[in-house]
Amino acid sequence: MKTLVVGILLLWFSNTVSAQTAPFSIEVKAGKYPRYQTPVQVNLPRPLPLNTLYSIKNTKTGKSTVAELLDSVTLVFILPDSIEPGGWQTYTVSKIANNKAPRPAVIIAQKKGGLQVSIKNKPVFFYHTQEAMPPADSPAYYRRSGFIHPLYSPGGQVLTDDFPVGHAHQHAIFNAWTNTTFRKEFIDFWNQQHKRGTVEHIEVSKIKEGPVVTELRVKLRHKSLLHGEVLREMWVIRVYPFSDYYLFDLISEERNVTTDTLFLNKYHYGGMGFRGSNQWNEVDKKNFKSHWQVLTSEGIRDSAANHTHARWVDASGLINGQAAGATVFDHPVNFRYPQPIRVHPTMPYWVYSPVVDGAFTINPGTWYRSQYRYYVHQQIADVPALERIEKDWTVPPDVIIKGF
């Protein structure tokens, strides 16, 4: 009897998997906005087998692309067609044989000090797993891990700075709170010179390379120099396979791992920061060439954007005589969206900073979550392109699943 039951269960499981991996179709609706090279996520009603790739084929034109699973119930692909506002396209989804599976487009390689992310042998960014040491003329307490630098443009220019002249505690793409209270004491995780706190990398949790998206997961800690670890942070970075521009998402989850509340006090900066090229830093007499240009989704420029709210922020300028820049898109799930920003009046750094609007807390065992999309381009800000990419991120196309 036991053997019969096991056999029936195996047959049921086999039939279920077979039904789920059989071809089905999806309809992608543009909604109010034009769609072009849009990353599309499909939330499946039931799991599909992991480590399997799929083909997405247009039922009218025959145009196709590859899709992969972020997890067992999330299928992702890059839209192979342009869809005008109000339009739609229908695609069949079928399994790709293992011997026909395309190679990953985005590669993550272990290098000295960290991880190099590249597309088609072009560097995109470097994530520091080991402590980077400051210049010889700066104190050792500025050492730092758990940040991204360099961030490259598609043309190979370095868009960010690390241990910049005048602000050695800033590190390209980095995350830290500035004015906090913990156990009735002031802690600053941002300004290491105060010797109150810092942020550091702990471990690489996951590397998954794929033809549609490559995912990197890393763990960091926000540490009080007196009390030890206060926040445990996870970064999930998803890099898409574009090479004429770069596109990646950075999802942050900070959990209070203590039994006491962390108070984030109202302050004029602190959060997910961006430090621009040394060629934009007028304090850096050796490297300075010209000032950057900041533009927000609200049309506000440069230091006038300080403490305004923005759906996206673009920082661009000339590097080695060629225009390049990076746009960071806020997301509606983020606290106090659209978040206020800090733009420094003279130095090339800015930050999404919800504490500008007032204090809040991260209670014991709870999470503070935020997510941003980064678009790295080879020109000064192209507003229509930025608005299109922002809508892909914040108001994605609707997807209807049929025959699953």
DSSP 278-338: GGG-TT-TTT-----EEEETTS-BGGGGTT-B-SEEEEEEEETTEEEEEEEE--TTSTTSS
If asked whether residues 144 and 213 sit together in one domain, one would say yes
Q: What is the pLDDT of residue 85?
A: 98
Q: What is the pLDDT along the chain (404 residues), one digit of tens a residue?
A: 444 444 434 444 444 444 445 589 999 999 999 999 999 999 999 999 988 999 999 999 999 999 999 999 999 999 999 999 999 999 999 999 876 779 999 999 999 999 999 999 999 999 999 999 999 989 999 999 999 999 999 999 999 999 999 999 999 999 999 999 999 999 999 999 999 999 999 999 999 999 999 999 999 999 999 999 999 999 999 999 999 999 999 999 999 999 999 999 999 999 999 999 999 999 999 999 999 999 999 999 999 999 999 999 999 999 999 999 999 999 999 999 999 999 999 999 999 999 999 999 999 999 999 999 999 999 999 999 999 999 999 999 999 999 99
If asked whether residues 96 and 206 sit together in one domain, one would say no
Structure tokens at 146: 């758990």
If asked whether residues 70 and 112 sit together in one domain, one would say no
If asked whether residues 139 and 241 sit together in one domain, one would say yes
If asked whether residues 50 and 117 sit together in one domain, one would say no
Looking at the structure of the chain, the number of domains it has is 2
If asked whether residues 155 and 198 sit together in one domain, one would say yes
Assess if residue 3 is contained within a domain: no
If asked whether residues 176 and 237 sit together in one domain, one would say yes
Query: What DSSP designation does 146 have?
Result: S
Half-sphere CA count of 271, side-chain side, radius 13 A? 30
Assess if residue 399 is contained within a domain: no
- Cα–Cα distance measured from residue 275 to residue 173, given in angstroms and rounded to the nearest whole number: 7
Which of 101, 123, 153 represents a domain boundary (last residue)? 101
* 4 conformational bin, left if phi > 0, alpha if psi -120 to 50, beta if neither: alpha
Assess if residue 220 is contained within a domain: yes
Assess if residue 333 is contained within a domain: yes
- Cα–Cα distance measured from residue 180 to residue 177, given in angstroms and rounded to the nearest whole number: 7
Which of 67, 101, 135 represents a domain boundary (last residue)? 101
Assess if residue 13 is contained within a domain: no
Q: What is the pLDDT of residue 264?
A: 98
Distances in whole angstroms, Cα of residue 61 to Cα of each of 56, 58, 87, 92? 12, 6, 15, 12
Q: What is the pLDDT of residue 396?
A: 98
| E-assigned strand segments in 13-53 | 24-29, 39-43
If asked whether residues 207 and 253 sit together in one domain, one would say yes
- What range does the domain containing 96 cover? 23-101
Would you say the pTM of this structure is higher than 0.85?
yes
If asked whether residues 329 and 206 sit together in one domain, one would say yes
Helix (H) or strand (E) holding 21: helix 2-21
| E-assigned strand segments in 158-227 | 173-176, 180-182, 185-187, 197-208, 214-224
Of 218, 147, 150, nearest to 189 by C-alpha is: 147
If asked whether residues 135 and 282 sit together in one domain, one would say yes
CATH number for position 94? 2.60.40
Assess if residue 191 is contained within a domain: yes
If asked whether residues 42 and 171 sit together in one domain, one would say no
Q: What is the pLDDT of residue 8?
A: 39
If asked whether residues 297 and 166 sit together in one domain, one would say yes
CATH number for position 198? 2.70.98
Assess if residue 138 is contained within a domain: yes
Which of 101, 119, 143 represents a domain boundary (last residue)? 101
Assess if residue 188 is contained within a domain: yes
Q: What is the pLDDT of residue 198?
A: 98
